[in-house]
Amino acid sequence: MHALPAGGGAIDLDEHYMRVAINEARCAAENGDVPVGAVVVHNGAIIGRGHNQRELLQDPTAHAEMLALTAGAAGLDSWRLLDCTLYVTLEPCVMCTGAIVLARIPRVVFGAPDPKGGACGSLFDIASDSRLNHRVDVVSGVLEEQCAEILRAFFRQQRALGKK
């Protein structure tokens, strides 16, 4: 587990944990995956972390959020991730937002919006859909430029290599 940094308010903490998620995103890029990283925080400790591993595992569900949620659930020995915050560098997709709702995550903080697939307000708003049994407080734009630049750099490199 990773401990809470000393001092600072919610914004400082959000930026701190987003930096950890950014480091996870860099791991994904090193493995040829879209650089998205995520961490689950419970009572000031990181209990789950993940980065995209779709290419590495050849698994369409191996998104950073899904892997971090699974690790977080194992860390708490419960599928209910109550009192947790999920930090993720890119706005979660429909699949991941569905898993967030099912895991009862109360708060999600993301960096860059995803206008083509985001399900926390950009394209869909599953996180706050009143028809579901759980709603999620969403904070967007934390270290947005850094999160977006990692993605832009990755796709520039992929295009230069004749990929994606």
Among residues 15, 24, 55, 65, the one annotated as catalytic is 65
Strand positions, DSSP E, the chain? 37-42, 45-51, 84-90, 107-112, 137-139
The dihedral built from the CA positions of residue 121, 48, 135 and 59, taken in this order, carries a sign that is positive
DSSP three-state, residue 88: strand
Instruction: Mark whether 30 is an active-site residue.
Output: no
What stretches of 45-127 show up as alpha helix (H) in DSSP? 54-57, 64-76, 94-102
What's the one-letter identity of residue 80? Answer: R
Catalytic residue numbers? 65
